[in-house]
Each structure stands twice: as structure tokens, then as C-alpha cells.
Structure 1
């Protein structure tokens, strides 16, 4: 397998996120985000860690952009921190915050790197959460104000835009299970948050398209291949319900297919939050859809689980051959299965894998990080992406998660995904063997 096997127009990149890398949590007028607040709550983050400094990208962005160049990576995906640009979410913008992103964009272009910008990667301004956050329908106008300001000032140079990062995760983990910021629970929070996130994709997508000439507008979805725990009818039905929630809840409304209530009847409760014209406002013809896959999930029937009547069977209980530091099974065919699933929708122009990677327990020895497991993970998953492409499926790009080790949300600094190792005490960088492999692969 060589790069040329994927064709001359295949997009190669690496992805990152503002909160996980920037640090400088209150520098130069930045306001607090829901994650700044959440990380200060006892017991929410492994090791009571926080992202006040993280990877220090705010002050060392030039160094990290240089690493992207050194690794021969032509595309760099990063996100804008909403509270860095609008400390209170709306109102008066923070010019120093916007200036930082101007410098990042210009720094990429100076290095010959194409910037791909995600507008929302989970760090909602805390001031807006105090008004209900994603449960408040006003989030649509709030985000429109923020996005309009950013896009109008960066859109002359940034031509690749993504609206949301993984709405299923930030609404599910943040507004139903409470394990991510803002830590809310229950369907009374989840259903309105989910509906407003679904509406935001089309609304902001239309805004970007109207502002950016010769641009491409996308959004990203988390996805996991869902396998039933057995061939019994109850497990197969449970897997169908889980697939509707995990993989289909957001993509299908965007494609004009509505919410997948036929396969998960509990989703019918979302209609309570729909208003006149919402059905017309949900669909949007994105230029590309980003899919983000790391593993598969095995699902069993569980009548005691509310709404879903299904449960995930942890990889460790299934005694699978390989598990990552996140407790996820290493199962490369999952990415092929998800490309095939999303390719089956008739109205997606193109798919791009906007995140794929693995966390393992890296060790620095004699100034080197020999992360053979991560390197093999990337090789095996890329082989599945190539298989999909050779089968005529609609995949046109692949971005590794992530450039540097970073703050991995509730996992803190425990889970290291980077191609570049970070010593969080000294901020020293070391390219791992996986990064060296990716560099060589992209240089051929």
C-alpha cells in the first residue's frame, strides 16, 4: 500500500481541537467555556487534570504547524474556541482572540498547509450554558452570530469549513449521561439539545456557503460499526436500535430523511421540540461529510436500559485480541463498514475520514517513542480505507487523530493519541515512530 494507490486527489491530513491543545484558558480576554468549568468539578476528569496549559498551542502554534510541515501533512484541521472570540458567547467580539486564529491560518498558508476549520468542537461559552446552552433554541441565533463573524473574517483564506464536531457525542455525553461538559442528564436535556444541534448544521452551513467563495462546507459525525452480540432476534433488534441512536440520529435529518424513529421509537419524543418549518430547515446539501471512526460496538438486548433496551458489551469482557488505552477494541474492518454504510446514502457528494487514530501507553526511551501498536493501527485502518476506495465507495480523504498528545476530555492526559509525543511538564515534542511512518508514507 502506497499513497498513490488512493489517487492524486485524495486529501491527507491531521486533526486537532482548540480546547484539547491551546491552553491559555483565560489569556488575552478569553472567556470560560463549559469545559473550563467542568474540569474544575471534583471527580469529573481522570487524575483531577485540567487543560489550563494543555499543549500550549496558543503560544507555540508556530512550532506545531512546523511539525505538520515536517511530517509532510498537507492539510491541518483545527477548531475555533468560541469563548476566545466571544467571551460571553455573543455581543462584543474579542479582537485578540480572532487575531490568534488569523495568525494560525496565515501560519498554515505560509508553510503550504491547507487549513480546515471546525467552528464548534465542544467548548461552548459558559455564559451561554447559563442560559441553557444547547437546550435553548436561541443557540441557533447565538451560533449564527459567532459563525458569521468568524467566517466573514477568515473566509478569504479558509476554504474548508466544518460546522459541528460529533453532535451525537457532545449531546449524548454532555446532556444525557453527564460524563462530559456541561454535565447534564436525562431526556429533558438531551432531546432539545439534539434537535437544536441538528438544526444548527443546516443553518450554519447555509451561512458559510453564502459568505465563502469557492469554499467547501462540511460537518462531522462520530460513528461505530454496530454488531449484535448474537444472532438471536432480540440482540439483532437491539443492534438496530443502537445504530439508530449512535450512527443515524444526526446524518439522516441532514439528508432530508427525518429522525430514525421507525427503528428507535423513543426518538419520537424529539418532535415536542420541533417548530413549524423545522422539517424544511433540517436538510442541507453539504459538500462533504466527515466520518470519525475508532472501533466497533457489540450490542446486546437489555430490557432494563430505558428507551434503548440495549447495552454495549465492553471489549474487555469479550476478550478481544487488542484493546486501546480507551478500552476500545482494535477492529480495522469497522472503518470499511462505516464508509460503506454512509456511502449507501444517495445524496452525499463525498465522504472524508476526518478522525481515526488510537491511544496506547507510550514510553519514551533514549529520546524515542517506538509506538508499534499505533503504527500498525494506522496501517491496518488505511488498508481498509483503500479497500473501500477500490470497491468504488465514496471516500476522498483521511485525517489522523491527532497531531500531538493532548487533553483527552474526561480521560485527561492519560490517553495519548498523538503522532507527536508531548511531555506536559516541559512541552518538549518527540515524533513517534507512527509519525515517522506517516511522514514517509506521505512523501512517497
Structure 2
């Protein structure tokens, strides 16, 4: 494999790294912050693999200057972060946003700009105020209005400096991991509820795009989806049909309504009475035009029929011949090219950004605390090459954000999984760039990186 050079990508191509508020900030009850659904979920026995929480995480709330120095030192152009809704409205709603919460993110944004980092703000990376959950959460349509109010307040305060806004990160995860599988907050297990939550998330996305534009004219707004190339487990008709159904709920269920096509008819037929309730005007709100589509790519899914199974009766099976990350995810760089070219062919988004791509490996520091993570370096090099192939195939790919700048709280896995370019010793909060981070720095400086 030949590793591409940074200069192989188009002029102005944005290179960045991503984080999220609950995974790194800590300071769970400082600065007037209210409780989030993840604060509450982590208290549930057995919910988190190692029994931990994001109460301290990477202590980014206090150590953000050091972390932004790390990003600047890498040489990235942009930094994607998320805003904790409970820091802005501790109870989810209110006449006035928290001055302390807004001041924290204002300092953070100013810190990015001082370091030459373009801020990319995500409004919702899963940490819903617990007070709203107690009123029904995303099952309650009132939460959509609360989200639009929150989006407007934040964009009004930061929109003079933040020019790129992402409404939701991976609504599939919010809906299905949180409300169907129960492995993410708020920990519900109800397939029909998950579908209704998904609908409300999408409607709220459209409303938030409008709110951001009203508060910050000229800002660019979009959404980030977790998308997967879908492959059938066999050539048999049952598995082929299952793959089509799975693609419908995993990919087209989001892409179709966002691009003005409504929900896919074949999925609605498969869902039957479980299909969400859609009110007049909802689909038009979902289809509010975006300036870009964010895509998080990690792996393809291989699908088999699951007769009698819940929902759409499909199951994910191992991808043949693919090496695995420490998370058990298949490593298939060509899936990125496949996915991006498919999205461009079928939907023609104005611009596409890879808002997350990265990998978890068993990072073991040496005696000096350095992590020689050659596997992550190879992973990134192969996926950079796959992104370049997509660009050369005509995909309007405008940027690539590596997940993640720091090792962090990995949701239900706690601190047992590490995705960072930077190793974090959680006992001491010491940060140290890994070999993959040093490789990425060489790449960004247009030096000759090793393959």
C-alpha cells in the first residue's frame, strides 16, 4: 500500500480530530452543569463494563489548554468538539442559558482560534439533560422544541466564531442503542419507542438547522450519521433480502428523509405497526437543506436473515477474512470508498466530511509510558488512501476528522477501550502522544510518513 501525501488531497481539505463532551470533560457537577442521562445511566449496576463513569474522564474541563496545545502540535486545521446541553440549560429548558456554561465554551472556542484551529461544534453527542428524560426524553415531542431553543442559544453566543455546526452525532446510536438494545443511556429496550425517538431526532435536526441559521447567519450546518456498507452473508435470496432490509434501517432510514424522499417504503412495510407516528409537516422539517453531510465510518456490516427475530429480522455476522480491532470491528478500508461513492451516487450531498474514523487497539505503554501503536498507524494510512480514492472518484469530500484526539470514556465500555492519538494515564491525567499521533503529525506537516 502506498500512503498518500497530504498534498494529494484538494486545496483547502480540512484535517482534524474529534472529541465529545461527556467522554472527555469530566467536571460533572461543576460550573452549574445539570445531570445528564449518562450521569444517571452510569450509576446503574452493570451498565458500564468497568463500573466507571465520565464524572472525571480526561478532566478536559480544567485541562483544555493542554489538550488544544496537543491538537495544535499535531498540525490539524480543525477541531471537532461537542457541547454538553446540561451545561447550557441544566434542566434542559429555561428563559436564560447558563452564563457559566456559555463562558466555558466561549473560552474553549477562543482557545481554538488562538491556536489556528477551526471550531466544529456538535450540538448533541448523546448527553441529554436528565430533567428532560424525566419528562419523556426524545419520546416527547416537546424535547424537539427544547433542542431548537438550545441550538439557538448556543449559536447566538458562539456563532460569531463558530462557522460549522453539527446538529446530531449518530442518531442511530441514540435511538437504537439507547432505546432498543438498552446498552446506552437512557437504557430502554423498546423497538417501537426507538423508531419514534429516531423520528423525533430527525425532525429536531431540521429545526436546529433553522435555529442555527437564524442565530448565526452564514454558518454552515449539517448532521453526522454513522453509516455502514451492507453486504449479504451469502448469495441466497433470504440473506440478500435481509441485507436490503438492514440497509434500509441502518442507512436509508436516515439518508432518504434528510434528502427529501421521506422514509423508504420497503422499510415502512417491514415495520408495520412499529413504524413511527409522523405528523403533518414533519418530513418537510427533516428535509431542511444542509450545507454538508457528516459521515462516521468504522466498518461494513455483513448481514444474515434471522427468521422470527425482533424488528426487521436481521443479524450481523462476522465479515469473512477481515482482521479485527480490539473492539472486534472488522478492518475494511475499501468499505470507506464504497460507502462514500454510494452516498454521492444516490444522494448528491453538497459536501461530505468524514467526521469520525479511527480504531481501538490494545495499547500497552512501554516502561517510559510511550505507546508504539503500529496497528493504528497502519489503520489510518489505509483509510487515508481509501478517502483519496473516493475524492478521485468524484465524491465532494472536504475534510477528515480522526477519532480521537485523546483516549477517553468509551460509553458502555468505560475506560477499557482506547481510540486516542494521545495516551491518557487516567490516574495521573498525563497525556503523551502515541506513535500513531507522531505519524499523523508527520503526515500533516507533509513530511514523508512511513507506510
Name the TM tier (shorter chain). over 0.9
Alpha-carbon distance in structure 2 between the residues aligned to 1:280 and 1:264: 18
8 Å CA contact retained: 1:225, 1:337: yes
Measure how far apart 1:438 and its partner are.
Answer: 0.7
- Where does 1:256-405 land on structure 2 (aligned, <5 Å)? 256-263=260-267, 265-267=269-271, 269=273, 272-314=276-318, 318=320, 320-365=321-366, 366-405=368-407
1:56 aligns with 2:45: no
1:132 aligns with 2:146: no
8 Å CA contact retained: 1:240, 1:263: no
Structure 2 SS opposite 1:118: strand
1:119 aligns with 2:123: yes
1:233 aligns with 2:233: no
Alpha-carbon distance in structure 1 between the residues aligned to 2:145 and 2:229: 34
Alpha-carbon distance in structure 1 between the residues aligned to 2:121 and 2:244: 33
Gapped runs of 5+ residues in structure 2? 447-451
1:188 aligns with 2:189: no
Deviations 1:91-142 (Å, cap 9, x if unpaired)? 1422111110000000000111110000000000000000010000111111
Match of 1:18 among 5, 10, 21: 21
Deviations 1:203-223 (Å, cap 9, x if unpaired)? 111111222233211110001
Structure 2 SS opposite 1:27: coil
Deviations 1:281-311 (Å, cap 9, x if unpaired)? 2212100000001011111011121221210
1:162 aligns with 2:166: yes
8 Å CA contact retained: 1:255, 1:347: no
Gapped runs of 5+ residues in structure 1? none
Measure how far apart 1:261 and its partner are.
Answer: 3.0
Match of 2:257 among 250, 253, 257: 253
Match of 1:34 among 32, 37, 40: 37
State the partner residue of 2:202.
198
Deviations 1:412-439 (Å, cap 9, x if unpaired)? 1111000000000000011011111111
Alignment CA distance shift 1:238-1:421 (3 Å): same
Alpha-carbon distance in structure 2 between the residues aligned to 1:281 and 1:270: 22
State the partner residue of 2:449.
none
8 Å CA contact retained: 2:259, 2:347: no
Structure 2 SS opposite 1:198: helix
Match of 1:441 among 430, 440, 443: 443
Deviations 1:241-266 (Å, cap 9, x if unpaired)? 11111112112111101112324523
Alpha-carbon distance in structure 2 between the residues aligned to 1:39 and 1:314: 30
Alpha-carbon distance in structure 2 between the residues aligned to 1:210 and 1:94: 20
Measure how far apart 1:340 and its partner are.
Answer: 1.1
Match of 2:79 among 65, 76, 97: 76
Alpha-carbon distance in structure 2 between the residues aligned to 1:376 and 1:270: 43
Measure how far apart 1:314 and its partner are.
Answer: 3.6
- Where does 1:214-225 land on structure 2 (aligned, <5 Å)? 214-225=218-229
Normalised TM-score (structure 1): 0.97
Alpha-carbon distance in structure 2 between the residues aligned to 1:361 and 1:187: 34
Alignment CA distance shift 1:146-1:17 (3 Å): same
8 Å CA contact retained: 2:17, 2:401: yes
Alpha-carbon distance in structure 1 between the residues aligned to 2:89 and 2:103: 12
Alpha-carbon distance in structure 2 between the residues aligned to 1:265 and 1:177: 22
CA RMSD of superposed structures (Å): 1.3
Alpha-carbon distance in structure 2 between the residues aligned to 1:431 and 1:117: 24
| Structure 1 stretch displaced more, 29-38 or 301-310 | 301-310
| Structure 1 stretch displaced more, 279-288 or 293-302 | 279-288
Normalised TM-score (structure 2): 0.95
Alpha-carbon distance in structure 2 between the residues aligned to 1:88 and 1:243: 37
Alignment CA distance shift 1:345-1:211 (3 Å): farther
8 Å CA contact retained: 1:16, 1:79: yes
Matched pairs, number:
441
| Structure 1 stretch displaced more, 94-103 or 259-268 | 259-268
Deviations 1:49-88 (Å, cap 9, x if unpaired)? 1111000000000000000000001100000000011110
Deviations 1:119-167 (Å, cap 9, x if unpaired)? 0000000000000100001111111111111110000110010000000
| Structure 1 stretch displaced more, 305-314 or 46-55 | 305-314
Structure 2 SS opposite 1:161: strand
